[in-house]
Structure 1
Amino acid sequence: MRTKFLPGLLAACLLSACGGSDGVGVAAPVFVSPAPSDPVVPVAPPVAPPVKPTFGAQVSFGDSLSDVGTYAVGAVKTLGGGTFTVNGDHTAIDPALTGKTWTVVLAARLGLAAPCAAQTGLDGDASSGFAVPVESHAGCLGYAQGGARVTHPVGPGNKLTGSALGALTVPVATQIANHLAISGGRFKADDMVQVMAGGNDVLLELAALNASAIAAGETAGSTAYVSNLVGLLAAGATNPATAAQAIGAAAATAQGSPGSTLTSVTQAAIGAAAVQPGNSAVAAAAVWGPMVKQANADAATAGAAAGTAYFNAHAPDLVDRMTTAGAELAALVKDQVLGKGAQFVVVNNLPDVAGTPAGRKESAGGRGLIAAMVQAFNAQLDTALSGDARVLLVDAYALSHETAANPAGYGLTNVTDTACDLNAARNPLQSSLVCNGSNLKPGDVSHYAYADEVHPTPYYHALLAGYVAQKMAERGWL
């Protein structure tokens, strides 16, 4: 797993395989002595195996899965965090708890120095220790940032989402532009470039749809509640139709008042109902209580139906947006990475987000939508980037499916729960960003797949790094 590329050994291998000692690793042509009447037919020399590339640097772009410490500052650092996994070297607890993400593991496999964050800082709540000046670090080529999206500047944890953390969430498009700005507008021919993004586009798009669906359900439920309550309260009046108009008007007035609540609207409706001819009995809690209960039940049913209808109606929009995001990432790779000189580019597609602990909490419809979003994104990468010899498209989606279906075969002991205790009392951010050996769940969690609800443990990061290395070896890059 940790074999390094050794030019000296490779040269020796070439000399041995070719039987030559002329210093270039290729034997001289061999000729067979022909019969006097036969033409001279040369035998082709053995073909030397291709020389594997030697990489001078690892340049990574993406999100939290590749972040090597953008937010390892301020209170995050004080809390023992900094990357989105189980932080810190806890190999004394278990050898798998290395604290390393896949880019760190792969850099060692390539014989390169451990990557460092190109930019660090936080733009959040100063009183909580989340306001730390943003700094760029010369020589550090780990541009990936937790919360980053493909092109949109606002991702999970960004202050514009209301988060106190103030994650920078510089999008991949800007990450690449930042690198080109300090590298003369070009990648070096021996750069090993890594790109992995799109997960935060899924998460924020889904969160926005869920919020809108909930709002639609609440609006429909509130309307249904008032309408049903008015009808129930008016039913005992001498003239129900006239009573309903008066009760409805009182409820509408209450709804329009500053500081209106469902309770204040209910009280206004009951008060108006009790003064209707023949309806004084409704003033008693024993009478109106069951009516309110029935109206609430009807409202819940109507709200749920409206929320589901909204979700289903707008779900295709999210698939379209992920199609666009995938096309945007592919275009960035083609135009701003390959088009700027990169010769070796690893692009990991999106893993199965629906299979994460967070995805498993969604409804069946929600999981189906997540799957469709991920597949739409990955299809764009496959269509645009397959067939280019400079690009190695790694199927992280397939790996996530294989490990979920056969965890024991990969040494995993749990693929559904989190290794980190995300209770706010032990983990203030409720995130792997500040998860470490002090706030893990009880028992042996070293071989869990997930640190938190969407981020892998160091053990799974090692699996991903090994998978990428295997694909690189198959391509002849390692």
Structure 2
Amino acid sequence: MDLHTLPRTTVRRWQPLALVVAASLALAACGGSDDNDTNPLGITAVKVFGDSLSDSGTFAGLPGMSRTFTVQATRNEPTVLWVEHVTAAYGLGAQCPVYKFNGTSFGANPKAGCTNYAIGGGRINNPLDSGGALAPLSIKKQLQDGAARGWAKGDLLLIDGGGNDAADVVGAYLGAAADKGVKYLALLRTQVSEQALAQVLAQPNGMETAGGMYMQALADGFAAEIRSSALDKGAQHVVVANMPTITYTPRFQGVLDMIAQAAGGGGPGAAARAQAEGLFKGWVDAFNQRLSANLAGDARVKVIDVAGRFTDFMVRPSAYGLTNVTLPVCGADGVTVLPKREFVDCTADALSGTTPPPGAPAGRSWWERFMFADSFHPTPYGHALMADQVIEALDGADWL
């Protein structure tokens, strides 16, 4: 996702679940599970669709741009993103991007064999000023391009999306006071019919209810595209990660703080903050619930509740080995205890050479188990935790 991250430790380091799973399978002959195949489906390609959570290098090589949207040059390269961990769990080669951006437009990557269609900035409802539905920034278009190449029995599809869309609708809603709702209503009309919109806007809290309708319609369209471009055209194994609750990200926590300040702070500010947070979480929940409902009952699809696990990270960070779930290690606007770095400069070495912020573990590895890289994206450890969840689900379904 985007809104316009593990290096070596001295004592111990996190091991990807894929390695744990592999070890447990190796021990199966000694009286454990009878599952002794790390690739029971014969998966030969992992094909990826989505946004910056999954982009393995569309913008790499351009001035000021990094391979991934997280901490760079960690020792686990090129297995950093959640989709890269899943690919490695199947024993397949490193992910590489299907598209490359040359600074002005997207084209085909001349490197053969790439299967990662995801692009940083990808949206389900891609706006016209970014090329609309015909541009590869549209996740629907990515799926269509994948379908055009055809699906094989050995393909596993990994799909994420919606975070940027949610950020768009929240931003437009918050800007409604300044532009009289022009941008918000225009965005709503791209997914909600005029009749339905008129009916809901005539009701109390209509603007807020309409946001939930938009998110449900967005999920309907996403599920329909997954069905028409993937399932109906022969894809047999599809993993869909639902939308993380973006209100927990540092960027949106900052937005909520500004809402509290605008309401006068104190009790009224806290109430306004809580109301806005509840509204935006409700919109994310509306999307996720509708997406799951639309894809339920199909054995070819596994919907992963990333949002639920992400919430648990925030509530019980120590249970997942997380040492901080609020501060972005690459810094951000308004963060004074760490320097702000673009991803291309936010390297493992740079962070290890930075004085740890107050409350962080001592030593060069202070940053390794923080959740956030910047204000919107996870660290490599955050990606590894997401991969854990997906690999658990794949193993539980005998897909791995």
TM-score, scaled to structure 2: 0.72
Q: 1:331: how far off?
A: 0.8
CA gap 1:159/1:74 in 2 versus in 1, 3 angstroms: farther
Aligned to 2:109: 136
2:45 to 31, 45, 57: 57
Aligned to 1:146: 120
Identity fraction in percent: 30
How far does the alpha carbon of each residue in 1:113-140 deviate from its partner, in whole angstroms, 9 at most, with x for none? 11101111154xxxxxxx4774434321
Q: SS at 2:68's partner residue?
A: coil
**Are the equivalent residues in 1 in contact too, given 2:125–2:165 (CA < 8 A)?**
no
Which structure has more relative contact order (CA 8 Å, sep 6+)? It is: 2
Q: AA paired with 1:203?
A: A
Q: Distance in 1 between matches of 2:239 and 2:170?
A: 27
1:463 aligns with 2:385: yes
1:412 aligns with 2:376: no
Mapping 1:322-401, distance limit 5 Å: 322-361=215-254, 362=256, 363=259, 364=273, 365-401=275-311
1:197 to 161, 172, 175: 161
**Are the equivalent residues in 1 in contact too, given 2:243–2:306 (CA < 8 A)?**
yes
**Are the equivalent residues in 1 in contact too, given 2:147–2:230 (CA < 8 A)?**
no
Q: AA paired with 2:54?
A: S
**Are the equivalent residues in 2 in contact too, given 1:449–1:456 (CA < 8 A)?**
yes
Mapping 1:205-216, distance limit 5 Å: 205-216=169-180
Aligned residues: 325
1:449 aligns with 2:362: no
Residue range with higher mean Cα deviation, 168-177 or 54-63: 168-177
Q: 1:359: how far off?
A: 2.1
Residue range with higher mean Cα deviation, 313-322 or 201-210: 313-322
**Are the equivalent residues in 1 in contact too, given 2:245–2:307 (CA < 8 A)?**
yes
1:473 to 347, 370, 395: 395
Q: Distance in 1 between matches of 2:98 and 2:227?
A: 22
TM-score, scaled to structure 1: 0.61
How far does the alpha carbon of each residue in 1:136-156 deviate from its partner, in whole angstroms, 9 at most, with x for none? 34321100111111132458x
Q: Distance in 2 between matches of 1:2 and 1:51?
A: 12
Q: Distance in 2 between matches of 1:395 and 1:379?
A: 10
Q: Distance in 2 between matches of 1:51 and 1:169?
A: 31
How far does the alpha carbon of each residue in 1:205-236 deviate from its partner, in whole angstroms, 9 at most, with x for none? 1112222223449xxxxxxxxxxxxxxxxxxx
Q: Distance in 2 between matches of 1:106 and 1:60?
A: 11
CA gap 1:434/1:189 in 2 versus in 1, 3 angstroms: farther
1:121 to 97, 101, 104: 101
Q: Distance in 1 between matches of 2:279 and 2:238?
A: 30
**Are the equivalent residues in 2 in contact too, given 1:147–1:169 (CA < 8 A)?**
no
**Are the equivalent residues in 2 in contact too, given 1:63–1:144 (CA < 8 A)?**
yes
Q: 1:404: how far off?
A: 0.9
Aligned to 2:89: 109
Q: 1:2: how far off?
A: 3.3
Q: 1:320: how far off?
A: 1.2
**Residue ranges of structure 2 left out of the alignment (5+ in a row):** 1-16, 182-203, 260-272, 357-365
**Are the equivalent residues in 1 in contact too, given 2:332–2:375 (CA < 8 A)?**
no
Q: AA paired with 2:123?
A: R
Greater CA radius of gyration, 1 or 2? 1
Aligned to 1:255: none
Q: 1:180: how far off?
A: 2.2
Q: Distance in 1 between matches of 2:210 and 2:346?
A: 35
Aligned-pair RMSD on alpha carbons?
3.6
Mapping 1:38-437, distance limit 5 Å: 52-77=40-65, 81-89=66-74, 91=75, 100-123=80-103, 131=104, 134-137=107-110, 138-153=112-127, 170-181=137-148, 183=149, 186-216=150-180, 313-361=206-254, 362=256, 363=259, 364=273, 365-422=275-332, 432=343, 435-437=346-348
**Are the equivalent residues in 1 in contact too, given 2:331–2:339 (CA < 8 A)?**
no
**Residue ranges of structure 1 left out of the alignment (5+ in a row):** 19-47, 124-130, 161-167, 218-310
**Are the equivalent residues in 2 in contact too, given 1:422–1:431 (CA < 8 A)?**
no
**Are the equivalent residues in 1 in contact too, given 2:78–2:84 (CA < 8 A)?**
no
1:2 aligns with 2:24: no
Q: SS at 1:378's partner residue?
A: helix
Q: Distance in 1 between matches of 2:227 and 2:141?
A: 15
Q: 1:376: how far off?
A: 0.9
Q: AA paired with 1:64?
A: S
Q: 1:108: how far off?
A: 0.7
**Are the equivalent residues in 1 in contact too, given 2:78–2:94 (CA < 8 A)?**
no
CA gap 1:134/1:407 in 2 versus in 1, 3 angstroms: same
